[in-house]
A = this chain, B = another copy of it.
Amino acid sequence: MTTRYGTRPTMKDVAARAGVGLKTVSRVVNGEAGVTSDMTARVQGAIAELGFRRNDSARLLRKGRTASVGLLLEDIADPFSGQLSRAVEAVARAHGSLLFTGSSGEEARREQELALAFCARRVDGLVVVPAGDDHRYLLPELAAGIAAVFVDRPAQLIDADAVLTDNVGGARDGVAHLIRHGHRRIAFLGDLPHIHTAAERLSGYRQAMAAADLPVDEDWVVMAPTDPSVVAASLDRVTGGPAPVTAVLCGNNRITLGVLRRLPSMVRRPALVGFDDLELADLLTPGLTVVAQDPAALGRAAAELLFHRLEGDHAAPRRVVLPARLIPRGSGETAP
Contact = CB atoms under 8 A, between A and B. Distances in A.
Interface of A: 1-2, 4-8, 51, 53-58, 61, 63-66, 68, 75-79, 81-83, 85-86, 89, 98-103, 114, 116-122, 124, 139-141, 143-145, 257, 260-261, 264, 278-285, 310-312
Contact of A279 (B58, B143, B279, B311): B279
A145 B209 CA distance: 63
Contacts of A75: 86
A82 B74 CA distance: 12
A118 B53 CA distance: 12
A4 B98 contact: no
A137 B141 CA distance: 37
25 contacts: A1-B64, A1-B124, A1-B145, A4-B144, A5-B64, A5-B122, A6-B64, A51-B139, A51-B140, A53-B116, A53-B120, A61-B61, A76-B86, A76-B89, A77-B85, A79-B79, A79-B82, A79-B279, A82-B82, A85-B101, A99-B101, A257-B279, A260-B283, A280-B280, A284-B285
A298 B66 CA distance: 31
A145 B5 contact: yes
